[in-house]
Structure 1
Amino acid sequence: MPTRLLLLADTHVPARARDLPAAVWAAVDEADVVVHAGDWVDVALLDALDSRARRLVGCYGNNDGPALRARLPLVAHVGLEGLRVGVVHETGTAAGREARCDAAYPDLDLLVFGHSHIPWDTVTPRGMRLLNPGSPTDRRRQPTATYLTATARDGRLEDVVLHRLPPRGGAVR
């Protein structure tokens, strides 16, 4: 049976937003596994996601303090439907990312990361998929806030979709 994934990063709640957008909470309810690649900022969001998600996998980011670091790893590892998945906040600059990640994570099929707030979807020379969902609350230089959904099935990642959130109070242009 396929496993529905929700990929998040850089939520920065409550620093950048009071809460996650309603569409993200709806995606949490639909997902079998919620993956968060760091920069939660407040342990209250970790607790809220942990209580609402069927399963939560996450790591801490550079903006996460001691309380979050005490509960989350620097790099999380999980097996999902035969996929070897890693979750880390930072992977360095975009230039050379694929080769760097191949060297740093030789045993993964999928690496979910954050930090830049820029959506990213590439495959390394070794064949590892690299995904950054962007941020659902702090779009920075991006046209919209974003998150990703995907499906893990029989050792494959399928149906990867970048969701663009409307600006607060408006529609996506």
Structure 2
Amino acid sequence: MRLLLMSDTHLPRRARALPERLLADLPHADVVVHAGDWVDEATLDLLEQRSRRVIGVYGNNDGPALRARLPEVAHADLDGLRLAVVHETGPAQGRERRCADRFPDTDVLVFGHSHIPWDTTTDTGLRLLNPGSPTDRRRQPHCTYMTATAADGELRDVRLHRLPPRT
């Protein structure tokens, strides 16, 4: 099962649209995961129209309309892989312990908020992934998103995709 992971799109505040390279990857994904801060409903509508399945949560910049359509925390079983999605996990210091305690029955937690790509594994085996932002790099060198594969209860082939600068 092919996954496409993104967060913090902030459309149309930070960019007018999702990057073409990310849009070109949508048809190849079985599941699109968005870890919040969509800002507009049009992005959710677009992903729902162009994707087989969308798992998303709302973020701190998402208003009442998105909060009515999305949960604060999402859980899914993807071919035996126990996935959770949340927008905020708090400061980087102590993140692994906090997340392992909060999500004890989870294999992979996808989160956003910081716009900083993150890939670590806790001492309990919980994999933490932040795909960064495909539209707002903040102080990072690149806008980013991730792809991965879920198969037989395992996450494989996690790849961070760096996007070219917007013109």
TMscore range, shorter length = over 0.9
Map 1:76-155 → 2, pairs under 5 A: 76-155=74-153
1:50-83 residue CA offsets vs partner (Å, 9 max, x unmatched): 1111110000000000000000000000000101
> Deviation of residue 125 (structure 1)?
1.1
Query: Cα deviation per residue 1:81-138 (whole Å; 9 max; x = unaligned)?
Result: 1011000000000000000001111110000000000000000110010000000000
SS of structure 2 residue aligned to 1:143:
coil
Please, what TM-score do these two structures have when normalized by structure 1?
Answer: 0.96
Q: Quote the RMSD (CA, aligned, Å).
A: 0.5
Aligned to 1:56: 54
Q: d(CA) in 2 for partners of 1:116 and 1:29?
A: 27
Unaligned residue ranges in structure 1 (runs of 5+) = none
Instruction: Give the whole-Å Cα distance in 1 for the aligned partners of 2:85 and 2:133.
Output: 15
Whole-angstrom distance in 1 between the partners of 2:15 and 2:166: 11
4+ residue runs of structure 1 moved beyond 4 angstroms?
Answer: none
- The 2-side partners of 1:54 and 1:160 are apart by 20
Deviation digits for residues 28-51 of structure 1 (CA, Å, limit 9, x no counterpart): 111000000000000111011111
User: Percent identity over the alignment?
Assistant: 70
In 2, Cα distance between equivalents of 1:151 and 1:64: 28
**Structure 2: segments with no counterpart, 5+ residues:** none
Q: Distance in 1 between matches of 2:43 and 2:164?
A: 21
